[in-house]
Amino acid sequence: MPLNVQKVKWGHLVQAGSTLRGGKAAGTGEGRGNLADEVFAAWVLGPAARVPKRSTRAGLQAVLFDLDGVLVDTAEFHYRAWQRLAEELGVPFDRQMNHAFRGVGRMDCLEKLLRDHSDCFVIEEMQMLAERKNAYYLEQVKTLVPEHLEAGARGLAMGLRALSGGGARLALVSASKNARLVLKLLRIEDWFDAIIDGSDVTRGKPHPQCFLLAAERLRVRPEACVVVEDADAGLMAARAAGMACVGVGNGVGACDLHVLAVGELTIEQLEAVAERQLSAAR
- Single-letter amino acid, residue 50: R
User: Quick one: three-class SS letters along the chain?
Assistant: CCCCCEEEECCEEEECCCEEECCEEECCCCCCCCHHHHHHHHHHHCCCCCCCCCCCCCCCCEEEECCECCCECCHHHHHHHHHHHHHHHCCCCCHHHHHCCCCCCHHHHHHHHHHHHHHHCCHHHHHHHHHHHHHHHHHHHCCCCHHHECCCHHHHHHHHHCCCCCCCEEEEECCCCCHHHHHHHHCCHHHCCEEECCCCCCCCCCCCHHHHHHHHHHCCCHHHEEEEECCHHHHHHHHHCCCEEEEECCCCCCCCEEECCHHHCCHHHHHHHHHHHHHHHC
Domains of the chain in start order, with CATH, are 6-45 (no CATH), 62-72+147-281 (3.40.50.1000), 75-141 (1.10.150.240)
What local confidence, expressed as pLDDT, does residue 121 receive?
Answer: 87
- Please indicate whether residue 232 is annotated as part of the active site: no
pTM of the predicted protein model: 0.74
The pLDDT value given to residue 36: 62
Q: Mind listing the pLDDT tens digit for each residue in 251-277?
A: 788 999 999 999 999 999 999 999 999
Catalytic residue among 66, 193, 197, 230: 66
In the residue annotation, 200 being an active-site residue is answered as no
Q: What is the pLDDT along the chain (282 residues), one digit of tens a residue?
A: 344 333 333 333 334 444 444 444 444 444 445 666 666 555 555 555 565 677 778 899 999 999 999 999 888 898 999 999 999 999 999 988 888 887 787 888 999 999 888 888 888 999 999 999 999 999 999 999 999 999 999 999 999 999 988 889 999 999 888 999 999 999 999 999 999 999 999 998 999 999 999 999 999 999 999 999 998 999 999 999 999 999 999 878 899 999 999 999 999 999 999 999 999 988
